[in-house]
Structure 1
Amino acid sequence: MHPAAAFRHDDRALLEAVVAEVGFGMVFLTTPDGPRVAHVPLLSTGDGAVQFHLSRGNALARWIDGAQALAVVNGPDAYVSPAWYADQGQVPTWNYVAVEMEGRVRRMTAEGLHGLLETVSARHEERVNPAAPWTMDKVPPERMARLLDGIIGFELEIAAWRPTFKLSQNKPAEERARVAAGLDRTGAPALAELMRRLAP
């Protein structure tokens, strides 16, 4: 789908919030072995970078340090039925949120990797297990050392943000309201709420 200018958002706080809320994405790189992608937890540093880790055996691990890469976080998405419009001259489409971040990647130190893993696990443990969150110190030190030796931490310094918030902004307000109601009925309330808040 072509990301038209109407679907752009320049609100940096909103983009950071999408990355933080989703917490997972894809990192793409063209390598000498061909194009490759890694699916990774992503941590926004809040100051223009995202951090992630790869297994040493990952197809990107040997090429990505110092390379220009692309990280993508996908937010909510859903099919939009033409039946929801008052104007019956419409066709199906898809509404979605995606944040693309391009920049140079650098390898993190062992201390930086440890800090990344602690932050990521603490953030998600607070959400899924607030009464008794898991912490890294529960793993025996020898075992943790072996696990850490099998992964590498990286930081992508964002030089370009390319967000797409396709929320029917190209339709009249009454049609957007009908689409949002249809999304609510069909199990996509998060996308419907974003439509109401960002494209009223």
Structure 2
Amino acid sequence: MRHTPSFELTDPAEIRRLIRENPWATLVSHTSTGDLVASHYPMLIDESVAGTDADSGELVLVTHVGRPDEQLHELGQHEMLVIIQGPHGYVSPGWYDANPAVPTWNFVTAHLYGTPEILSAEENLLVLDRLVDHFEDRMPEPRRLHGTAANSAYADRISAGTVGLRLRVTRVIAKSKLSQNKPAETVDRIIGELEGTGPYASPALAAEMRRAHERPASAARSGDHA
């Protein structure tokens, strides 16, 4: 990923927030055969590891893959890249001002590197439980992987088709490109357009811009089309 100091995201707490709010990840491996292998799975921060909730400290991720992805990726044999993609979207030059300009794409993303560790069958079940609970907790009637005897038997059976992994992140490259190089009135105008009803509206991206620029909810409204 291109290095742009003004867009570099280095705050560990913000990187963890990005992962928690955008858990659907892309896993990329460069295998011994020279092939690039990519898969897509939800990833969670392993909160049981000391320091994962601190502003600094070790960042550890857990997930599972479906067989035979563990063989295709050659898990445990080499470094893996995990890509976390946050809100992103098109920014029209018409949202700037009357001066000549080109369009761009605003986004937040993180590239996380590490060599995955394959989990035991017992640890894999715990990860599967956590994954289900993480997404079911917001449901009105959450379904649990081991909520009943029948569920437990089913979960134990299908878990054999999955392989759990833990990734201790050794390197992070993260970027938050949210118009930090634009004047305040332009930022407000972009946020207003993203919160509007146009073809490139994106409330999630607008919220990220508000956070990055510490804009109150009323700021963009007062600056719309100024």
Alignment TM-score, normalising by the size of structure 2: 0.81
For 1:193, the equivalent position in structure 2 comes to 207
Equivalent residue pairs, number: 198
1:136 to 1:167, Cα distance in 2 relative to 1, 3 A: same
1:188 maps to amino acid: S
For 1:20, the equivalent position in structure 2 comes to 20
What's the secondary structure of 1:39's corresponding residue? strand
Offset from partner CA, 1:142-189 (integer Å, 9 cap, x none): 432321111100111101111111101111122111111111113211
Is 2:166 the counterpart of 1:165?
A: no
* Structure 1: stretches of 5+ with no match in the other structure: none
For 2:41, the equivalent position in structure 1 comes to 40
Following TM superposition, the consecutive aligned residue runs of length 4 or more in structure 1 with deviations greater than 6 angstroms are none
1:172 maps to amino acid: P
1:156 to 1:87, Cα distance in 2 relative to 1, 3 A: farther
For 1:7, the equivalent position in structure 2 comes to 7
**1:36 and 1:59 in contact (8 A); partners too:** no
2:206 maps to amino acid: A
What's the secondary structure of 2:166's corresponding residue? strand
1:75, distance to aligned residue in structure 2 (A): 0.6
1:24 maps to amino acid: W
1:73, distance to aligned residue in structure 2 (A): 0.8
Is 2:168 the counterpart of 1:176?
A: no
**Partner residue of 1:68 out of 69, 73, 79:** 79
1:29, distance to aligned residue in structure 2 (A): 0.4
Instruction: Give the CA RMSD over aligned residues.
Output: 1.8
**1:26 and 1:72 in contact (8 A); partners too:** yes
Alignment TM-score, normalising by the size of structure 1: 0.91
1:32, distance to aligned residue in structure 2 (A): 3.0
**1:22 and 1:73 in contact (8 A); partners too:** yes
**2:87 and 2:208 in contact (8 A); partners too:** no
**1:3 and 1:166 in contact (8 A); partners too:** no
Distance 1:174 1:11 in 2: 26
1:12, distance to aligned residue in structure 2 (A): 0.8
Aligned-pair identity (%):
28
1:59, distance to aligned residue in structure 2 (A): 6.6
What's the secondary structure of 1:136's corresponding residue? coil
Offset from partner CA, 1:46-67 (integer Å, 9 cap, x none): 4211111111122755602242
Deviates more, 1:90-99 or 1:54-63: 54-63
Distance 1:99 1:60 in 2: 25
* Structure with more contact order per residue of length (Cα contacts < 8 Å, sep ≥ 6): 1
* Structure 2: stretches of 5+ with no match in the other structure: 53-58, 215-226
2:38 maps to amino acid: V
1:62 to 1:25, Cα distance in 2 relative to 1, 3 A: closer
Offset from partner CA, 1:86-131 (integer Å, 9 cap, x none): 142110100011111111211111121111111111111012x1x3
2:84 maps to amino acid: V
